């Protein structure tokens, strides 16, 4: 019941919102914020009821839906999905709060934001391939409108590119899902049953694995399927970027943990070297591309590609340590990147009206609080020990080292140095130097309210990574055992 409520309350809220008069803009904003906070309360209740010392699915709800095809309405949560749900429950209300500056077609904007929430919670809780696919696709349409209507100058190009790329990936995945359904001979779309009982011929397993890979690799995005991301991130409004980077990318990596690794362990192991190389290329390429950017938002977008590379590397190594690290990066990037996007695209941009680094300087002197916030987010993103970005990368490297020694050394040497480099260079150009131009107002109360919860979580997870590790340790151990890792 709790999970159904979590998934459908935002949708219900969106339907009610449709009846609001268009002109009552502040009421619409407040209402959307309140509706998006309800899932946060529900997530707390779910957390209370869950037992994280076991790996099984919990709070499972299952009903027949289309029995003639073996499709059921099945939701559940475990230690792998819960942290991502929790991150969503944190980031989604904040992204709505960050979007209070939207002035154009306000009602429609918050309506799509609420619809998007249903799709996101649905993706992380669905345990039936058919249901999952519906939520997975359903997240596209609201995001298309959010980028396409409220985005930057190249919004139409960016939104269509995002739409087509993701749809192409998931179209191929759909064929994979059907092949899994028919190839297993089990006549069910149940994720767990298929993971445990499907006896697939090795070649078939390979093909299905690749079909799934197409769907999730575009979403993550894994190099070379990433080209939609810089466009989409740069053009999206701040709230959209926060959700895109913080949560929607995680639906791709979540796909690896929930579907691909447990269901196709053999193909995954055989594919692992390729995956590791793609992960490393992503880390280094993303970092180098970020370094080359003049646009702040584009830099953050490429840094997302780089960070998702860590997750891919961790997944590829398949040791308990590396998988834990990958999960941790999922969580930490889920709270750091929204903060960074918010600071760069909203706090700084709303004041300077530019995102070009060469047009800004000396922000430390002009807007000290906002600039310190930027520095905080940048340090978190580059993986400074004591903040959430560090433990995940550390575990990933340590866990992957025995498996892919050369690659890890390469990534550590090139990736880490470049990552630190572009963040520091950005801070040097933007925050330091001689202040130019007129006086600017410093950060507002609303902006602090958006940033503070994220900052608290970043520090908390940095100092006490166990809070998050405790959640997914068990399921990851089971998964690693299934993969035959160390």
Partner 1 sequence: MPVDGSLQLILPEILLAAAGMVVLAAGLTWKTSRAPGVLALLGIAAAGAALYTNVWGATAELWSRTVVVDGFANLFKAIFLVVAALTVLVSMEYVQRNGIPAGEFYALLLLATVGMVFMAGSLNLLTIYLGLECLSLASYAMAGMLRRNPKSTEASLKYILIGAISSGVVLFGMSLLFGAAGSTHLTDIARALAGSGELAPVAVAGMMFLIAGFGVKMAAVPFHMWAPDVYHGSPAPVAAFLITASEAAAFGAALRIFMVGLPALADEWRTVFIVLAVISMTVGNITAILQTNVRRMLAYSAVAQAGYIMVGLAVASDRAVSAMLYYLIAYAFMTIGAFAVVILLGRQHPSEEINDFRGLGQRSPLFALALTIFLLSLIGIPPTAGFFGKFYLIQAAVGANLTWLAVVMMINSVISIPYYWGVVRTMYLRDAEEKAPLSVPAGVRWAAVIGLAGTLVLGLFPDAVVQIVSAVHVVPTWLWTAF
Contact residues for partner 1 (CB under 8 A)? 65-69, 105, 108, 130, 133-134, 137-138, 140-141, 145, 148-149, 155-156, 160, 163-164, 167-168, 171-172, 174-175, 178-179, 181-182
Q: Which 3 state secondary structure label does DSSP give 46?
A: helix
**Stretch (H or E) spanning 438:** none
Q: Whole-number minimum distance, CB 176 to partner 1, in Å?
A: 10
Q: CB–CB of 440/369 below 8 Å?
A: no
Q: Whole-number minimum distance, CB 380 to partner 1, in Å?
A: 35
Q: CB–CB of 55/470 below 8 Å?
A: no
Q: CB–CB of 392/336 below 8 Å?
A: no
Complex with partner 1: residue 194 or 371, whichever CB lies closer = 194
**β-bridge partners, 64:** 72
Q: Whole-number minimum distance, CB 266 to partner 1, in Å?
A: 20
Q: Whole-number minimum distance, CB 146 to partner 1, in Å?
A: 11
Complex with partner 1: residue 45 or 64, whichever CB lies closer = 64
44/407 Cα distance (integer angstroms): 40
Complex with partner 1: residue 66 or 274, whichever CB lies closer = 66
Complex with partner 1: residue 129 or 264, whichever CB lies closer = 129
Q: Whole-number minimum distance, CB 75 to partner 1, in Å?
A: 16
- CA-angle at 394, arms to 417 and 89, nearest 5°: 105
Q: Whole-number minimum distance, CB 156 to partner 1, in Å?
A: 6
**β-bridge partners, 401:** none
Q: Whole-number minimum distance, CB 123 to partner 1, in Å?
A: 12
Q: Whole-number minimum distance, CB 268 to partner 1, in Å?
A: 21
Complex with partner 1: residue 15 or 356, whichever CB lies closer = 15
Which of 321, 199, 318, 311 has the alpha carbon at shortest distance from 264? 199
Q: Whole-number minimum distance, CB 68 to partner 1, in Å?
A: 5
Complex with partner 1: residue 105 or 470, whichever CB lies closer = 105
Which DSSP category does 346 fall into?
I
Residue given tokens 């004041």 in the structure block? 351
426/447 Cα distance (integer angstroms): 22
Q: Whole-number minimum distance, CB 191 to partner 1, in Å?
A: 17
Q: In the structure encoding, which two tokens stand for residue 427, read together?
A: 């801070």
Q: In the structure encoding, which two tokens stand for residue 134, read together?
A: 């519906």
Q: CB–CB of 381/337 below 8 Å?
A: yes
237/445 Cα distance (integer angstroms): 20
Q: In the structure encoding, which two tokens stand for residue 318, read together?
A: 């398949």
Complex with partner 1: residue 164 or 464, whichever CB lies closer = 164
Q: In the structure encoding, which two tokens stand for residue 203, read together?
A: 């070649």
24/124 Cα distance (integer angstroms): 33
Pairing outcome for strands 58-66 and 71-77: antiparallel
> How many Cα atoms within 13 Å fall on the side-chain side of residue 37?
8
Q: CB–CB of 51/79 below 8 Å?
A: no
210/190 Cα distance (integer angstroms): 20
Complex with partner 1: residue 46 or 102, whichever CB lies closer = 102
Q: Which bin fits 170, alpha (ψ -120 to 50), beta or left (φ > 0)?
A: alpha
Q: Whole-number minimum distance, CB 178 to partner 1, in Å?
A: 5
Complex with partner 1: residue 21 or 445, whichever CB lies closer = 21
Q: Whole-number minimum distance, CB 24 to partner 1, in Å?
A: 16
Cis check: omega of the bond before 484, within 30 degrees of 0: no
Residue given tokens 């409220």 in the structure block? 150
Which of 244, 298, 252, 304 has the alpha carbon at shortest distance from 275? 252
Q: CB–CB of 120/138 below 8 Å?
A: no
């Amino acid at each position: 019941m709790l999970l159904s409520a979590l998934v459908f309350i935002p949708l219900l809220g969106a339907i009610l919102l449709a009846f609001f008069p268009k002109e009552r803009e502040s009421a619409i904003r407040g209402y959307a914020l309140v509706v998006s906070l309800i899932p946060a309360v529900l997530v707390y209740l779910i957390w209370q009821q869950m037992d994280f010392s076991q790996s099984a699915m919990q709070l499972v709800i299952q009903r027949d839906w289309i029995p003639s095809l073996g499709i059921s309405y099945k939701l559940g949560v475990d230690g792998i999905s819960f942290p991502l749900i929790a991150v969503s429950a944190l980031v989604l209300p904040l992204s709505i709060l960050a979007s209070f500056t939207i002035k154009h077609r306000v009602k429609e904007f918050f309506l799509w934001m609420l619809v998007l929430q249903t799709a996101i919670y649905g993706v992380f809780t669905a345990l039936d391939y058919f249901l999952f696919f519906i939520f997975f696709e359903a997240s596209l349409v609201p995001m298309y409108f959010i980028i396409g209507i409220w985005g930057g100058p190249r919004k139409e190009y960016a939104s269509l590119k995002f739409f087509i790329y993701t749809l192409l990936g998931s179209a191929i995945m759909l064929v994979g899902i059907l092949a899994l359904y028919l190839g297993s001979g089990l006549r069910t779309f149940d994720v767990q049953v298929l993971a445990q009982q499907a006896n697939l011929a090795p070649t078939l397993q390979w093909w299905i694995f690749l079909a799934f890979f197409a769907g999730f690799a575009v979403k993550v995005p894994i190099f070379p399927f990433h080209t939609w991301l810089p466009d989409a991130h740069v053009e999206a409004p701040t709230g959209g970027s926060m959700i895109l980077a913080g949560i929607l990318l995680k639906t791709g990596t979540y796909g690896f943990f929930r579907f691909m690794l447990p269901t196709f362990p053999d193909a995954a192991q055989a594919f692992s070297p390729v995956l590791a190389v793609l992960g490393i290329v992503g880390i280094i390429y993303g970092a180098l591309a970020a370094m080359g950017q003049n646009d702040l938002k584009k830099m953050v977008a490429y840094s997302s590609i780089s960070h998702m590379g860590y997750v891919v590397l961790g997944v590829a190594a398949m040791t308990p340590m590396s998988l834990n690290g990958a999960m941790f990066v999922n969580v930490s990037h889920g709270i750091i990147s929204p903060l960074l996007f918010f600071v760069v695209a909203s706090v700084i941009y709303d004041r300077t009206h530019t995102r070009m680094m060469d047009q800004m300087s000396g922000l430390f002197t002009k807007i000290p609080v906002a600039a310190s916030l930027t520095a905080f987010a940048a340090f978190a993103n580059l993986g400074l020990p004591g903040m959430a970005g560090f433990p995940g990368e550390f575990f990933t490297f340590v866990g992957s080292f025995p498996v892919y020694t050369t690659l890890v050394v390469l990534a550590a040497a090139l990736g880490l140095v470049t990552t630190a480099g572009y963040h520091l260079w950005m801070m040097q150009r933007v925050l330091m130097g001689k202040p130019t131009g007129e006086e600017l107002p410093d950060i507002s109360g609303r902006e602090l309210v958006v940033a503070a919860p994220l900052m608290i979580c970043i520090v908390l997870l940095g100092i006490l990574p166990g809070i998050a590790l405790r959640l997914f340790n068990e399921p990851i151990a089971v998964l690693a055992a299934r993969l035959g890792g160390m």
